[in-house]
Structure 1
């Protein structure tokens, strides 16, 4: 049977404390005052090549060479006698590998409440490979200095009255007390009073289950400020039979900050007036926000896992989407205007920003598309543009758009070497219609006249109303003057026919001036002036005819057309 001491030590080695020490990445072991091994973690088992059950309660002399055991025990005595931490390099035998290894070891005493050495805690870093390169050695040395405190998180050992028996540097940093001052305090000195009820629950859990946590609270630091922490702990019993508590303490200030940032990001995501869509690396929909549903009509459940192309309008070419993806994969982002369709099939204009989120290895993790509905804005822009560029009565291009198109056609003519013709059309006797029948009848006649002229204008030509009763036709690439004359003759004939103006009839004729670019003029302004003069020439000839600006070689044909 195990002695009472071994039984107490076995309780000390409960699974819960094993879980704590097994979290330490370095080889960690604890010996009693007689150098008997009472605790070691999995990293230590791997480093020595020994199972804990095989060495528990012994000094492990049966597994290590005599010269190594002599060294180990000598160092143990040095720690217990000197009462101070020592660190050194040593050789140790790995039973599993059947080879000697080199370790950098830290041994440190743990005192009981009376200040007597109670245990020896050792940490060993295997530096065999590190010894082969000075750079790796320095890195290991740096790692050793950080790991000798057992872990990057705070670890503290308290008695049941809350007094600190031991703690590491990480714990000291969390509390922000000098080591001597912290050692004189107890657990309750660091705990704000408002946590009393919560503390009672944790103590109850400790009494019933032997552990407590995870438990979030705050510590009062030396300057009076507070630091949020997360605690986990286990109750263990030492060889002296006195219970104590091992606690792992994490500073969760950064965690809280990130958590708050995530809450804020989630709030922005959920309340944003812009639609947001997240897709995976294969462009399958992962998530959408409420604004997305409001704008498009699609619920997440309907489209999750599907490709966003289900919303495509068909208005964009394959080349458009190729450029879209080239920009995203090349620059990591794209922004621009896209026409899609809502769930009900209605067209929708969106201003979209797409960004790529990559994982740490550089691979695409997510695509995030953020967009606003600009459909109404596009409609308003289109309305404003049409009002600025089209005649409201006839829906023909107005003077402004006419000049712009004429300028483009002149540039095209300069590139291709093909001439263009400009026709100025003035409605004869229109003023009489307005004066006798009224402006509303005149508007009806102007609308009908524009439709009659349109019948003889090619799709490549531009028909515009300059204002009043004046119209123009820009005819590019006309081939020969016969084409121009045929168009002019048909327009004159169309406008000679009576106009039905409600209960009245109206009759007008047309005078047309024709000028050719670049034969008659080589600038836009000159071309307009010559066309206007040609139109007045047609009026001087008796109206109801067309006339060229240049009397040669077109004078005869121009006169004949008016007959």
Structure 2
């Protein structure tokens, strides 16, 4: 038997409708008895109809409409309504009308398909007739509403009525609805209210049964919706009993894991377990589920094929009304592609895009990590800095595409010169670095450095061009030259510049004296910057005379650095460093400008047309490059 029938089937027994009516009729005789018996029969028929109509009625509004007609007929009222109580989250109570008489009723007050307007029926107002019914839980009779002690409290556009009977619909102590009847000839009294009590109880039971029926319909709809979500979700869903035995899985679970539903029902989710996590990881996971009722995080599982894969999973415990766990539900989705994308982004952030080698950031991180390990093992480690000689000239002359190809091939040659355990990185431009692990002294490192130089000295054939480069290499040793990454990098860089100064295409180990030289280089570079800023350079011109004719064919421009104390510094003291640091470009631009101004001045003075040059080939190349840059 359907649950919603139980309140109604119990109605007659609870209210004693049939028994009470018959007993009351038996105690009365004559005409009055006949009249009351007729009324009681009408009441019995109405309450019985409420039960029978509800059991076969699918239109709930028609059902309540019939009950309202019975209320009106039994009470001989012109108008009325049946409303159900709605409790809002804010604590206010509203009425939703499920039946009302037509004609003369203001539709603003109640709506059969929506809540009544707050301003129309102020149920929380003590001046409202309806509010008094709800507040007292008793019948309210007002045969002269205007003179009623609590006042009417209905809006001004409400239809006019002469008298009113309102009574609550209660099931036990719960107020579930209200019935209002209006305009009975002769007014209402307690006898009428008492006479309607059986119908009142029947209506209360119907309201509760209807409410439960609607709740069941909503639950069934939600269940149907949940089933559709379960079947069509792109996320894998796994449901177990309280012991962890799999009870159901959805199609997405099967698609992701490779298992069929039949293969996993009754099994434990451990069939998906990989060896990726240790015992402590799972213990922490279950501790969270026990403490909070849920856990979410990244987990590595194993497919039926044996492949491991990452998922993002949420596990929730489902409890019954007594708080006892009856199910566990796991919802997960495959994050393999996301992990691959994250790894690709991380790789791009830490590797050189051109050569695929570790970049400066990763090199620094690896060096720090290696040094920590070497401190425990007491092994020697070498840090190698190298710069490709003549690369800039090739890059400027043949173009960047050729330069990129040269860097790529150079990185491949370098990789072949070292062991798999060693680290090769590109710091930027034409600078490469190495970390040589567990070396047996400087002889091992020198052997590798010589091997690198020989490899890079071989010609590069790039787009029909034969290119030749060399390598200037600087080396620092751990722990001899330093015990931190910063110090070792600085020492290797200093040794590399010493290799450049002594002719390039060679290697140098760092020595203590290089530290002092480095300080001098830093001071000199800063002084050159100040000299450029303060215009401390001057040009001197040496005439070029034809010995046969005695004719002056031009002049050679000679640069000198004049300090504020008039001390003269010759070019060989500062131009090599300016070449290495790139300051030569700015110096070259200044030389061109000054020389052009001087030529113009000589022409204006009548000395004719002459040429200016410089015997320093290196300076001439740099000056010409500076000219192209300036233009």
1:22-64 Cα offsets, whole Å, 9 max, x none, are x99xxxx9xxxxxxxxxxxxxxxxxxxxxxxxxxxxxxxxxxx
2:265 is aligned to 304
Cα distance, 1:331–1:550 mapped onto 2, change above 3 Å: farther
2:47 matched to 1:186? yes
2:235 matched to 1:274? yes
**TM-score, structure 2 as length reference:** 0.46
1:113 is aligned to 22
Output the CA distance in 2 between the equivalents of 1:313 and 1:550.
Answer: 53
Q: Which range is displaced more, 511-520 or 324-333?
A: 324-333
2:477 matched to 1:516? yes
1:508-554 Cα offsets, whole Å, 9 max, x none, are 3222111234543455444333221111111223223221222579x
Partner SS, residue 365 of structure 1: strand
Cα distance, 1:470–1:366 mapped onto 2, change above 3 Å: same
Map 1:162-561 to 2 at 5 A.
163=43, 186-188=47-49, 225=97, 251=209, 253=211, 256-257=214-215, 260-261=218-219, 263-264=221-222, 267-268=225-226, 269-270=229-230, 272-292=233-253, 295=256, 300-301=261-262, 303-311=264-272, 315-316=276-277, 320-321=281-282, 324-325=285-286, 327-328=288-289, 332-340=293-301, 348-358=309-319, 364-412=325-373, 420-435=381-396, 438-478=399-439, 480-501=441-462, 504-517=465-478, 519-521=480-482, 523-551=484-512
Report if the CA contact (8 A) 1:277-1:287 is conserved: yes
Report if the CA contact (8 A) 2:499-2:507 is conserved: yes
The size of the alignment, in residue pairs, is: 364
CA RMSD between the two structures:
5.1
Report if the CA contact (8 A) 1:461-1:476 is conserved: yes
**CA-CA distance at 1:391 after TM superposition:** 1.0
Output the CA distance in 2 between the equivalents of 1:368 and 1:196.
Answer: 39
Q: Which ranges in structure 2 are unaligned for 5 or more consecutive residues?
A: 1-5, 28-38, 64-81, 86-94, 100-168, 171-201, 515-631
Output the CA distance in 1 between the equivalents of 2:412 and 2:494.
Answer: 25
1:416-444 Cα offsets, whole Å, 9 max, x none, are 66564311021223334435555434333
1:71 is aligned to none
Cα distance, 1:361–1:114 mapped onto 2, change above 3 Å: closer
Cα distance, 1:425–1:322 mapped onto 2, change above 3 Å: farther
**CA-CA distance at 1:287 after TM superposition:** 2.1
**CA-CA distance at 1:336 after TM superposition:** 1.8
Report if the CA contact (8 A) 1:110-1:117 is conserved: no
1:560 is aligned to none
Report if the CA contact (8 A) 2:237-2:332 is conserved: yes
Output the CA distance in 2 between the equivalents of 1:449 and 1:392.
Answer: 15
Report if the CA contact (8 A) 1:394-1:450 is conserved: yes
Output the CA distance in 1 between the equivalents of 2:331 and 2:42.
Answer: 54
Q: Which ranges in structure 1 are unaligned for 5 or more consecutive residues?
A: 1-19, 30-84, 86-108, 119-158, 166-184, 203-218, 230-246, 554-563
Report if the CA contact (8 A) 1:190-1:220 is conserved: no
